[in-house]
Protein backbone atom coordinates (compact mmCIF):
# COMPACT_ATOMS: atom_id res chain seq x y z
CA UNK A 1 0.00 0.00 0.00
CA UNK A 2 1.29 3.45 -0.89
CA UNK A 3 1.10 6.30 1.58
CA UNK A 4 0.93 10.05 1.10
CA UNK A 5 3.01 12.20 3.43
CA UNK A 6 1.59 15.32 5.11
CA UNK A 7 3.78 17.86 6.92
CA UNK A 8 2.19 20.16 9.46
CA UNK A 9 1.76 23.86 8.70
CA UNK A 10 4.02 24.84 11.59
CA UNK A 11 6.88 22.98 9.97
CA UNK A 12 6.35 24.72 6.62
CA UNK A 13 6.40 28.11 8.35
CA UNK A 14 9.74 27.28 9.97
CA UNK A 15 8.30 27.06 13.49
CA UNK A 16 8.40 23.77 15.40
CA UNK A 17 10.32 20.74 14.15
CA UNK A 18 8.64 19.02 11.23
CA UNK A 19 6.10 16.36 12.19
CA UNK A 20 5.56 13.71 9.55
CA UNK A 21 2.10 12.12 9.45
CA UNK A 22 1.30 8.97 7.48
CA UNK A 23 -2.04 9.28 5.71
CA UNK A 24 -3.44 6.38 3.69
CA UNK A 25 -4.85 7.42 0.29
CA UNK A 26 -8.63 7.69 0.08
CA UNK A 27 -8.96 4.54 -2.00
CA UNK A 28 -7.40 2.48 0.74
CA UNK A 29 -9.52 3.88 3.56
CA UNK A 30 -12.30 1.28 3.33
CA UNK A 31 -9.85 -1.63 3.29
CA UNK A 32 -8.00 -0.14 6.25
CA UNK A 33 -11.21 0.24 8.26
CA UNK A 34 -12.23 -3.33 7.42
CA UNK A 35 -8.83 -4.58 8.57
CA UNK A 36 -9.10 -2.65 11.83
CA UNK A 37 -12.54 -4.11 12.45
CA UNK A 38 -11.18 -7.60 11.80
CA UNK A 39 -8.33 -7.12 14.27
CA UNK A 40 -10.74 -5.87 16.94
CA UNK A 41 -13.06 -8.79 16.32
CA UNK A 42 -10.30 -11.43 16.52
CA UNK A 43 -7.63 -10.28 18.99
CA UNK A 44 -4.43 -12.30 19.29
CA UNK A 45 -4.51 -14.90 22.07
CA UNK A 46 -2.75 -13.57 25.17
CA UNK A 47 -2.72 -9.98 23.94
CA UNK A 48 -5.08 -8.04 26.23
CA UNK A 49 -6.48 -4.67 25.30
CA UNK A 50 -4.94 -3.39 28.54
CA UNK A 51 -2.62 -4.65 31.27
CA UNK A 52 -4.19 -2.29 33.81
CA UNK A 53 -6.27 -4.82 35.76
CA UNK A 54 -3.34 -7.20 36.16
CA UNK A 55 -0.94 -4.40 37.12
CA UNK A 56 -3.36 -3.11 39.76
CA UNK A 57 -3.19 -6.52 41.48
CA UNK A 58 0.59 -7.02 41.14
CA UNK A 59 2.11 -3.60 41.72
CA UNK A 60 1.51 -3.45 45.50
CA UNK A 61 3.89 -6.41 45.95
CA UNK A 62 6.74 -4.73 44.03
CA UNK A 63 9.02 -2.65 46.24
CA UNK A 64 11.80 -0.10 46.12
CA UNK A 65 15.02 -1.11 47.87
CA UNK A 66 17.55 1.50 48.98
CA UNK A 67 20.79 1.06 50.91
CA UNK A 68 22.84 3.51 52.93
CA UNK A 69 26.56 2.86 52.81
CA UNK A 70 29.67 4.24 54.48
CA UNK A 71 32.56 4.67 52.07
CA UNK A 72 36.16 5.39 53.02
CA UNK A 73 37.63 7.97 50.64
CA UNK A 74 41.33 8.83 50.35
CA UNK A 75 41.77 12.47 51.35
CA UNK A 76 45.13 12.72 49.58
CA UNK A 77 44.66 15.21 46.70
CA UNK A 78 47.46 13.47 44.79
CA UNK A 79 46.01 9.96 45.21
CA UNK A 80 46.49 7.91 42.07
CA UNK A 81 49.32 10.11 40.79
CA UNK A 82 53.12 9.68 40.98
CA UNK A 83 53.18 12.47 43.61
CA UNK A 84 51.05 10.62 46.18
CA UNK A 85 54.12 9.21 47.96
CA UNK A 86 55.37 12.74 48.67
CA UNK A 87 52.11 14.00 50.20
CA UNK A 88 51.82 13.04 53.86
CA UNK A 89 48.79 15.09 54.92
CA UNK A 90 45.15 14.07 54.86
CA UNK A 91 43.73 10.93 56.40
CA UNK A 92 41.00 8.81 54.76
CA UNK A 93 37.52 10.19 55.39
CA UNK A 94 34.21 8.33 55.60
CA UNK A 95 31.29 9.48 53.50
CA UNK A 96 27.76 8.29 52.94
CA UNK A 97 26.48 6.82 49.68
CA UNK A 98 23.19 5.36 48.54
CA UNK A 99 22.05 2.78 46.03
CA UNK A 100 18.63 2.00 44.60
CA UNK A 101 17.00 -1.09 43.17
CA UNK A 102 13.81 -3.11 43.05
CA UNK A 103 12.42 -6.24 44.63
CA UNK A 104 9.19 -8.10 45.29
CA UNK A 105 7.43 -9.66 48.28
CA UNK A 106 6.89 -13.43 48.12
CA UNK A 107 5.07 -14.03 51.42
CA UNK A 108 2.49 -12.25 53.56
CA UNK A 109 4.94 -12.11 56.47
CA UNK A 110 7.51 -10.09 54.56
CA UNK A 111 10.14 -12.13 52.68
CA UNK A 112 11.52 -10.02 49.81
CA UNK A 113 13.53 -11.17 46.78
CA UNK A 114 16.02 -8.96 44.96
CA UNK A 115 19.41 -9.11 43.24
CA UNK A 116 22.52 -9.55 45.34
CA UNK A 117 24.18 -6.59 43.63
CA UNK A 118 21.31 -4.32 44.76
CA UNK A 119 22.17 -4.79 48.46
CA UNK A 120 25.93 -5.46 48.14
CA UNK A 121 28.55 -2.80 48.99
CA UNK A 122 29.36 -0.57 46.02
CA UNK A 123 33.12 -1.04 46.45
CA UNK A 124 35.71 -2.76 48.62
CA UNK A 125 35.90 0.42 50.70
CA UNK A 126 32.15 0.49 51.42
CA UNK A 127 30.07 -1.01 54.21
CA UNK A 128 26.27 -1.28 54.04
CA UNK A 129 24.75 0.45 57.08
CA UNK A 130 21.02 -0.06 56.46
CA UNK A 131 18.52 -1.35 53.91
CA UNK A 132 15.09 0.23 53.48
CA UNK A 133 12.16 -1.38 51.64
CA UNK A 134 9.43 1.00 50.44
CA UNK A 135 6.04 -0.28 49.29
CA UNK A 136 3.89 1.29 46.58
CA UNK A 137 1.85 3.05 49.28
CA UNK A 138 5.09 4.77 50.44
CA UNK A 139 5.22 2.81 53.69
CA UNK A 140 8.83 2.12 54.68
CA UNK A 141 10.32 -0.88 56.47
CA UNK A 142 13.84 -1.56 57.68
CA UNK A 143 15.06 -4.83 56.21
CA UNK A 144 17.59 -7.41 57.27
CA UNK A 145 19.49 -9.76 54.96
CA UNK A 146 18.33 -13.35 55.39
CA UNK A 147 20.76 -14.71 52.81
CA UNK A 148 22.53 -13.79 49.60
CA UNK A 149 24.40 -15.59 46.84
CA UNK A 150 26.86 -13.80 44.59
CA UNK A 151 27.07 -16.53 41.95
CA UNK A 152 23.36 -16.43 41.11
CA UNK A 153 23.05 -12.71 41.99
CA UNK A 154 20.12 -13.41 44.32
CA UNK A 155 19.32 -12.15 47.80
CA UNK A 156 16.46 -12.59 50.28
CA UNK A 157 15.47 -9.84 52.73
CA UNK A 158 12.98 -9.84 55.60
CA UNK A 159 10.73 -7.02 56.73
CA UNK A 160 8.47 -7.18 59.77
CA UNK A 161 4.84 -7.07 58.68
CA UNK A 162 1.63 -9.05 58.39
CA UNK A 163 -0.93 -9.48 55.64
CA UNK A 164 1.47 -7.94 53.16
CA UNK A 165 0.71 -8.14 49.41
CA UNK A 166 2.78 -10.81 47.68
CA UNK A 167 3.26 -12.55 44.35
CA UNK A 168 4.04 -16.15 43.41
CA UNK A 169 6.47 -17.83 41.04
CA UNK A 170 5.38 -19.41 37.77
CA UNK A 171 6.91 -21.95 35.40
CA UNK A 172 9.70 -20.18 33.50
CA UNK A 173 10.39 -23.36 31.50
CA UNK A 174 7.03 -22.85 29.81
CA UNK A 175 8.06 -19.39 28.54
CA UNK A 176 8.34 -19.27 24.76
CA UNK A 177 9.94 -16.73 22.47
CA UNK A 178 7.19 -14.30 21.53
CA UNK A 179 5.19 -14.59 24.77
CA UNK A 180 3.95 -11.34 26.30
CA UNK A 181 5.55 -10.27 29.61
CA UNK A 182 5.46 -7.20 31.82
CA UNK A 183 8.22 -5.83 34.08
CA UNK A 184 7.59 -3.72 37.17
CA UNK A 185 10.32 -1.87 39.02
CA UNK A 186 11.84 1.40 40.18
CA UNK A 187 14.12 2.62 37.35
CA UNK A 188 16.28 5.65 38.22
CA UNK A 189 14.51 5.90 41.58
CA UNK A 190 11.17 6.74 40.00
CA UNK A 191 7.99 5.34 41.54
CA UNK A 192 6.61 2.01 40.40
CA UNK A 193 7.10 1.82 36.63
CA UNK A 194 5.49 -0.76 34.35
CA UNK A 195 6.85 -1.79 30.95
CA UNK A 196 5.61 -4.46 28.57
CA UNK A 197 7.29 -6.53 25.90
CA UNK A 198 7.85 -10.06 24.75
CA UNK A 199 10.25 -12.88 25.50
CA UNK A 200 13.05 -12.27 22.98
CA UNK A 201 15.08 -15.39 23.78
CA UNK A 202 15.43 -18.11 26.39
CA UNK A 203 18.57 -19.81 27.72
CA UNK A 204 20.57 -16.73 26.79
CA UNK A 205 24.23 -16.94 27.86
CA UNK A 206 25.96 -13.61 28.62
CA UNK A 207 29.29 -14.86 29.95
CA UNK A 208 28.70 -13.79 33.54
CA UNK A 209 29.39 -17.00 35.45
CA UNK A 210 28.23 -20.47 36.34
CA UNK A 211 24.54 -19.57 36.63
CA UNK A 212 24.51 -17.89 33.26
CA UNK A 213 21.18 -18.63 31.56
CA UNK A 214 18.71 -15.80 31.23
CA UNK A 215 15.37 -14.91 29.71
CA UNK A 216 15.92 -12.05 27.28
CA UNK A 217 13.23 -9.43 26.75
CA UNK A 218 12.65 -6.22 24.81
CA UNK A 219 10.59 -4.72 27.67
CA UNK A 220 12.29 -1.53 28.87
CA UNK A 221 14.64 -2.37 31.75
CA UNK A 222 16.89 0.38 33.09
CA UNK A 223 19.12 1.12 36.05
CA UNK A 224 17.08 0.55 39.19
CA UNK A 225 14.98 -2.19 37.62
CA UNK A 226 17.45 -4.75 39.00
CA UNK A 227 15.75 -7.19 41.34
CA UNK A 228 12.26 -6.44 40.03
CA UNK A 229 9.90 -9.14 38.75
CA UNK A 230 9.09 -10.21 35.20
CA UNK A 231 5.49 -11.44 35.00
CA UNK A 232 3.74 -13.70 32.52
CA UNK A 233 0.12 -13.07 31.51
CA UNK A 234 -1.13 -15.14 34.43
CA UNK A 235 0.46 -12.66 36.85
CA UNK A 236 3.18 -15.09 37.93
CA UNK A 237 6.85 -14.23 38.35
CA UNK A 238 8.82 -16.07 35.67
CA UNK A 239 11.99 -14.00 35.94
CA UNK A 240 13.99 -11.58 38.10
CA UNK A 241 15.26 -8.61 36.09
CA UNK A 242 19.02 -8.56 36.48
CA UNK A 243 21.05 -7.20 33.56
CA UNK A 244 20.89 -5.00 30.50
CA UNK A 245 23.04 -4.91 27.41
CA UNK A 246 23.58 -1.29 26.44
CA UNK A 247 26.39 0.89 25.04
CA UNK A 248 24.86 3.91 26.78
CA UNK A 249 23.75 2.50 30.12
CA UNK A 250 20.08 2.97 29.22
CA UNK A 251 17.50 0.69 27.68
CA UNK A 252 18.07 -0.40 24.08
CA UNK A 253 15.60 -3.28 24.14
CA UNK A 254 17.96 -5.99 25.41
CA UNK A 255 17.31 -6.94 29.02
CA UNK A 256 17.91 -10.17 30.92
CA UNK A 257 16.04 -11.87 33.76
CA UNK A 258 17.05 -14.81 35.96
CA UNK A 259 14.56 -17.62 35.18
CA UNK A 260 12.22 -18.42 38.07
CA UNK A 261 13.00 -22.13 37.87
CA UNK A 262 16.69 -21.35 38.40
CA UNK A 263 15.98 -18.91 41.23
CA UNK A 264 13.35 -20.78 43.28
CA UNK A 265 15.56 -23.53 44.80
CA UNK A 266 18.25 -20.98 45.67
CA UNK A 267 15.72 -18.64 47.28
CA UNK A 268 14.19 -21.49 49.28
CA UNK A 269 17.64 -22.48 50.55
CA UNK A 270 18.49 -18.90 51.49
CA UNK A 271 15.19 -18.54 53.37
CA UNK A 272 16.16 -21.60 55.44
CA UNK A 273 19.57 -20.13 56.22
CA UNK A 274 21.34 -22.77 54.16
CA UNK A 275 24.63 -22.23 52.36
CA UNK A 276 24.52 -22.55 48.56
CA UNK A 277 27.03 -25.15 47.36
CA UNK A 278 27.83 -25.98 43.76
CA UNK A 279 29.94 -28.51 41.97
CA UNK A 280 33.43 -27.53 40.85
CA UNK A 281 35.72 -29.25 38.35
CA UNK A 282 38.82 -27.04 38.59
CA UNK A 283 39.54 -26.19 34.96
CA UNK A 284 40.00 -23.16 32.75
CA UNK A 285 37.72 -23.27 29.72
CA UNK A 286 37.38 -21.71 26.29
CA UNK A 287 34.46 -21.88 23.84
CA UNK A 288 35.05 -24.00 20.76
CA UNK A 289 35.03 -21.36 18.03
CA UNK A 290 34.69 -22.26 14.36
CA UNK A 291 38.46 -21.84 13.96
CA UNK A 292 39.24 -24.10 16.91
CA UNK A 293 36.74 -26.70 15.71
CA UNK A 294 38.40 -26.63 12.29
CA UNK A 295 41.87 -26.98 13.82
CA UNK A 296 40.81 -29.95 15.93
CA UNK A 297 38.59 -31.53 13.30
CA UNK A 298 35.55 -31.66 15.61
CA UNK A 299 31.90 -30.57 15.18
CA UNK A 300 31.03 -26.88 15.57
CA UNK A 301 28.85 -25.54 18.40
CA UNK A 302 29.58 -28.52 20.62
CA UNK A 303 31.79 -28.86 23.66
CA UNK A 304 34.22 -26.59 25.49
CA UNK A 305 38.00 -26.63 25.35
CA UNK A 306 40.05 -27.14 28.52
CA UNK A 307 42.75 -24.46 28.58
CA UNK A 308 44.15 -25.33 32.00
CA UNK A 309 43.73 -27.87 34.80
CA UNK A 310 44.25 -26.91 38.44
CA UNK A 311 46.69 -29.19 40.33
CA UNK A 312 45.00 -31.66 42.68
CA UNK A 313 41.56 -30.61 41.39
CA UNK A 314 38.62 -32.88 40.61
CA UNK A 315 39.56 -32.67 36.94
CA UNK A 316 43.21 -33.56 37.58
CA UNK A 317 42.24 -36.54 39.73
CA UNK A 318 39.87 -37.75 36.98
CA UNK A 319 42.59 -37.56 34.33
CA UNK A 320 41.20 -34.60 32.40
CA UNK A 321 44.02 -32.84 30.56
CA UNK A 322 44.73 -29.49 29.00
CA UNK A 323 43.52 -29.59 25.39
CA UNK A 324 40.65 -31.99 26.04
CA UNK A 325 37.25 -30.96 24.67
CA UNK A 326 34.42 -31.80 27.08
CA UNK A 327 31.38 -32.84 25.05
CA UNK A 328 28.96 -34.15 27.70
CA UNK A 329 28.47 -33.93 31.46
CA UNK A 330 26.41 -36.69 33.05
CA UNK A 331 24.78 -37.43 29.68
CA UNK A 332 23.91 -33.79 28.90
CA UNK A 333 25.46 -32.10 25.88
CA UNK A 334 27.76 -29.12 26.37
CA UNK A 335 26.52 -26.40 24.01
CA UNK A 336 26.65 -22.59 23.77
CA UNK A 337 23.25 -22.54 25.54
CA UNK A 338 24.25 -25.11 28.16
CA UNK A 339 27.82 -24.44 29.17
CA UNK A 340 30.23 -26.68 31.03
CA UNK A 341 30.22 -24.27 34.00
CA UNK A 342 26.43 -24.32 34.15
CA UNK A 343 26.18 -28.11 34.04
CA UNK A 344 28.89 -28.65 36.65
CA UNK A 345 27.55 -25.97 39.00
CA UNK A 346 24.15 -27.67 39.04
CA UNK A 347 25.65 -30.91 40.39
CA UNK A 348 26.10 -31.32 44.14
CA UNK A 349 29.67 -31.41 45.45
CA UNK A 350 30.81 -34.94 46.18
CA UNK A 351 28.83 -36.55 43.38
CA UNK A 352 30.72 -38.67 40.83
CA UNK A 353 29.56 -38.14 37.25
CA UNK A 354 30.82 -39.16 33.79
CA UNK A 355 32.45 -36.64 31.45
CA UNK A 356 32.58 -37.48 27.75
CA UNK A 357 35.54 -35.82 26.02
CA UNK A 358 37.56 -35.77 22.83
CA UNK A 359 41.34 -36.11 23.11
CA UNK A 360 43.56 -36.22 20.02
CA UNK A 361 40.54 -37.05 17.88
CA UNK A 362 39.42 -39.95 20.08
CA UNK A 363 36.25 -39.99 22.17
CA UNK A 364 36.54 -41.26 25.73
CA UNK A 365 34.71 -41.04 29.05
CA UNK A 366 36.19 -40.32 32.48
CA UNK A 367 34.48 -40.04 35.87
CA UNK A 368 35.09 -37.09 38.18
CA UNK A 369 34.06 -36.55 41.79
CA UNK A 370 33.18 -32.87 41.99
CA UNK A 371 34.57 -30.51 44.61
CA UNK A 372 32.83 -27.42 46.05
CA UNK A 373 32.90 -24.26 43.97
CA UNK A 374 34.93 -21.51 45.70
CA UNK A 375 33.48 -18.01 46.25
CA UNK A 376 33.33 -15.85 43.14
CA UNK A 377 35.90 -13.44 44.59
CA UNK A 378 38.49 -16.23 44.45
CA UNK A 379 37.65 -17.10 40.86
CA UNK A 380 38.04 -13.66 39.32
CA UNK A 381 41.07 -13.11 37.12
CA UNK A 382 42.72 -9.89 36.08
CA UNK A 383 43.33 -8.89 32.48
CA UNK A 384 46.32 -10.57 30.87
CA UNK A 385 47.24 -7.60 28.71
CA UNK A 386 50.73 -6.23 29.40
CA UNK A 387 52.24 -2.96 28.19
CA UNK A 388 55.83 -4.20 28.42
CA UNK A 389 56.52 -7.67 27.06
CA UNK A 390 60.05 -7.75 28.45
CA UNK A 391 61.69 -9.03 25.26
CA UNK A 392 65.45 -8.50 24.98
CA UNK A 393 66.65 -5.98 22.41
CA UNK A 394 68.49 -7.15 19.33
CA UNK A 395 66.67 -10.46 18.85
CA UNK A 396 67.61 -11.81 15.41
CA UNK A 397 64.54 -12.01 13.18
CA UNK A 398 66.38 -12.18 9.88
CA UNK A 399 66.76 -15.97 9.64
CA UNK A 400 64.36 -18.09 7.61
CA UNK A 401 61.63 -19.13 10.00
CA UNK A 402 59.80 -22.45 9.56
CA UNK A 403 56.61 -20.97 11.06
CA UNK A 404 56.26 -18.10 8.58
CA UNK A 405 53.03 -19.54 7.18
CA UNK A 406 51.42 -18.74 10.54
CA UNK A 407 52.45 -15.12 10.22
CA UNK A 408 54.88 -15.30 13.17
CA UNK A 409 58.61 -15.51 13.66
CA UNK A 410 59.83 -17.44 16.70
CA UNK A 411 62.93 -18.58 18.57
CA UNK A 412 63.47 -21.12 21.36
CA UNK A 413 62.52 -19.89 24.83
CA UNK A 414 65.63 -19.58 26.99
CA UNK A 415 65.75 -19.34 30.78
CA UNK A 416 66.93 -15.72 30.53
CA UNK A 417 64.07 -14.68 28.23
CA UNK A 418 61.52 -16.59 30.34
CA UNK A 419 62.67 -14.66 33.42
CA UNK A 420 62.37 -11.33 31.60
CA UNK A 421 58.88 -12.24 30.35
CA UNK A 422 57.65 -13.42 33.75
CA UNK A 423 57.09 -16.93 32.39
CA UNK A 424 57.24 -19.77 34.97
CA UNK A 425 60.41 -21.84 34.73
CA UNK A 426 58.31 -24.97 34.17
CA UNK A 427 57.05 -23.63 30.82
CA UNK A 428 58.87 -24.65 27.62
CA UNK A 429 58.19 -23.50 24.09
CA UNK A 430 59.10 -20.93 21.45
CA UNK A 431 58.83 -17.20 21.99
CA UNK A 432 57.21 -14.92 19.40
CA UNK A 433 59.68 -12.37 18.05
CA UNK A 434 57.15 -10.63 15.83
CA UNK A 435 53.95 -11.04 13.83
CA UNK A 436 52.94 -10.06 10.33
CA UNK A 437 50.37 -7.25 10.86
CA UNK A 438 48.22 -8.67 8.06
CA UNK A 439 48.27 -12.24 9.41
CA UNK A 440 45.54 -14.13 11.22
CA UNK A 441 47.91 -14.46 14.18
CA UNK A 442 48.12 -10.69 14.57
CA UNK A 443 44.37 -10.30 14.17
CA UNK A 444 43.83 -12.81 16.98
CA UNK A 445 46.11 -11.00 19.38
CA UNK A 446 49.45 -12.83 19.21
CA UNK A 447 52.25 -10.40 19.98
CA UNK A 448 55.95 -10.16 20.60
CA UNK A 449 56.79 -11.90 23.87
CA UNK A 450 54.04 -14.53 23.75
CA UNK A 451 55.24 -18.10 24.21
CA UNK A 452 53.85 -20.88 22.01
CA UNK A 453 53.86 -24.01 24.19
CA UNK A 454 52.19 -26.49 21.85
CA UNK A 455 50.77 -26.83 18.35
CA UNK A 456 47.84 -29.18 17.77
CA UNK A 457 48.44 -30.38 21.34
CA UNK A 458 52.03 -31.44 20.59
CA UNK A 459 54.82 -29.69 22.56
CA UNK A 460 57.05 -27.38 20.53
CA UNK A 461 60.44 -26.17 21.72
CA UNK A 462 62.04 -25.16 18.42
CA UNK A 463 60.92 -23.31 15.29
CA UNK A 464 61.40 -26.54 13.34
CA UNK A 465 58.94 -28.42 15.58
CA UNK A 466 56.37 -25.68 15.06
CA UNK A 467 56.98 -25.85 11.33
CA UNK A 468 56.44 -29.62 11.32
CA UNK A 469 53.14 -29.19 13.14
CA UNK A 470 52.04 -26.76 10.41
CA UNK A 471 53.01 -29.24 7.68
CA UNK A 472 51.14 -32.07 9.41
CA UNK A 473 48.01 -29.94 9.68
CA UNK A 474 48.17 -29.07 5.97
CA UNK A 475 48.73 -32.73 5.07
CA UNK A 476 45.59 -33.61 7.05
CA UNK A 477 43.61 -31.09 5.01
CA UNK A 478 43.22 -28.56 7.81
CA UNK A 479 43.62 -24.82 7.34
CA UNK A 480 44.04 -24.03 11.05
CA UNK A 481 46.65 -24.86 13.69
CA UNK A 482 45.64 -24.89 17.35
CA UNK A 483 48.30 -23.15 19.42
CA UNK A 484 48.54 -22.99 23.20
CA UNK A 485 49.91 -19.55 23.97
CA UNK A 486 51.30 -18.43 27.33
CA UNK A 487 51.46 -14.75 28.32
CA UNK A 488 53.13 -14.38 31.70
CA UNK A 489 51.25 -16.83 33.93
CA UNK A 490 48.04 -17.09 31.87
CA UNK A 491 47.58 -19.49 28.95
CA UNK A 492 44.90 -19.90 26.29
CA UNK A 493 44.26 -21.79 23.05
CA UNK A 494 44.19 -19.89 19.77
CA UNK A 495 43.39 -21.34 16.34
CA UNK A 496 45.59 -19.65 13.70
CA UNK A 497 44.93 -19.82 9.98
CA UNK A 498 47.68 -21.25 7.75
CA UNK A 499 48.87 -19.03 4.90
CA UNK A 500 49.65 -20.73 1.58
CA UNK A 501 52.52 -18.55 0.36
CA UNK A 502 55.52 -20.11 2.04
CA UNK A 503 57.47 -23.37 1.98
CA UNK A 504 58.05 -23.74 5.69
CA UNK A 505 60.23 -26.45 7.15
CA UNK A 506 62.53 -26.78 4.14
| CB-CB contact of 416 with 395 (8 Å) | no
DSSP for residue 351: -
Give every CB contact of residue 455 below 8 A, 6+ residues apart in sequence: 465, 466, 469, 470, 481, 482, 483, 484
Classify residue 312 by burial, with Cβ atoms within 10 Å: 0-12, 13-18, 19+: exposed
**Is residue 445 part of an annotated ligand binding site?**
no
Instruction: Give the C-alpha distances (Å, rounded to integers) separating 454 from 20, 458, 481.
Output: 63, 5, 10
| CB-CB contact of 213 with 337 (8 Å) | yes
| CB-CB contact of 446 with 466 (8 Å) | no
pLDDT per position in the chain (506 positions), as tens?
333 333 333 333 333 333 333 333 344 344 444 444 434 444 445 567 889 999 999 999 999 998 887 766 655 554 555 445 545 555 555 665 566 889 999 999 999 999 999 988 866 666 788 899 999 899 999 999 999 998 899 999 999 999 999 999 999 999 999 999 999 988 776 778 899 999 999 988 876 666 778 999 999 888 888 899 999 999 999 999 998 876 666 678 888 999 999 999 999 999 999 988 899 998 888 888 888 888 888 888 899 999 888 888 999 999 999 999 999 999 999 988 888 988 999 899 999 999 999 998 899 999 999 998 887 766 654 333 333 344 444 344 434 466 677 888 888 888 878 877 888 888 889 988 888 887 888 888 898 889 999 998 889 988 888 988 888 888 888 888 999 999 887 889 999 988 765 443 33
Count CA atoms closer than 13 A to 27's CA, side-chain side.
4
| CB-CB contact of 99 with 116 (8 Å) | no
The pTM is what? Answer: 0.65
> Active-site residue among 66, 99, 102, 117?
117
| 245-252 long-range Cβ contacts below 8 angstroms, 24+ apart | 245/206, 249/223, 250/222, 250/223, 251/220, 251/221, 251/222
In terms of Cα–Cα distance, which of 197, 199, 206, 195 is closest to 175?
A: 199
* CATH, range 57-276: 2.40.10.120
Structural domain boundaries in the chain: 4-35, 57-276, 279-379, 404-497
| CB-CB contact of 363 with 400 (8 Å) | no
Q: What is the pLDDT of residue 390?
A: 43
226 catalytic per annotation: yes
The reply to whether 404-497 shares the fold of 279-379 is yes
* CATH, range 279-379: 2.30.42.10
**Is residue 74 part of an annotated ligand binding site?**
no
First to last CA, the chain: 68
**Is residue 226 part of an annotated ligand binding site?**
yes
DSSP for residue 311: T
313 catalytic per annotation: no
203 catalytic per annotation: no
How far is C-alpha 307 from the geometric centre of its chain's CA atoms? 19
**Is residue 170 part of an annotated ligand binding site?**
no
> Active-site residue among 153, 212, 291, 324?
153
For the domain made up of 404-497, give the CATH fold.
Pdz3 Domain (2.30.42)
Q: What is the spatial distance between Cα 283 and Cα 320, in angstroms, rounded to a whole number?
A: 9
Q: What is the spatial distance between Cα 399 and Cα 381, in angstroms, rounded to a whole number?
A: 38
**Is residue 350 part of an annotated ligand binding site?**
no
Amino acid sequence: MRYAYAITTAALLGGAAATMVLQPPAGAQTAQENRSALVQATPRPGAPASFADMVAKLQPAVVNISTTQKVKVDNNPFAGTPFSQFFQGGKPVTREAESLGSGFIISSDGYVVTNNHVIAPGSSNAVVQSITVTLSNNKEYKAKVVGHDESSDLAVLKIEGTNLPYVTFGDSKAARVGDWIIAIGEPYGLGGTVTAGIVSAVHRVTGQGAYDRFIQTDASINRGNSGGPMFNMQGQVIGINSQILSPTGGNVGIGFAIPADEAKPIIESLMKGQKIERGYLGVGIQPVTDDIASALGIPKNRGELISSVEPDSAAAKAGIKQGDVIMQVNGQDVTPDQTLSYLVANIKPGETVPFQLIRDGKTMTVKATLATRPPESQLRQFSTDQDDNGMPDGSDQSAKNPAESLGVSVMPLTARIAQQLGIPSSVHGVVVLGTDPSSDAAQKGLQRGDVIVSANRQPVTTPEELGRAVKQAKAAGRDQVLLYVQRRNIGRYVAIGIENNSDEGQ
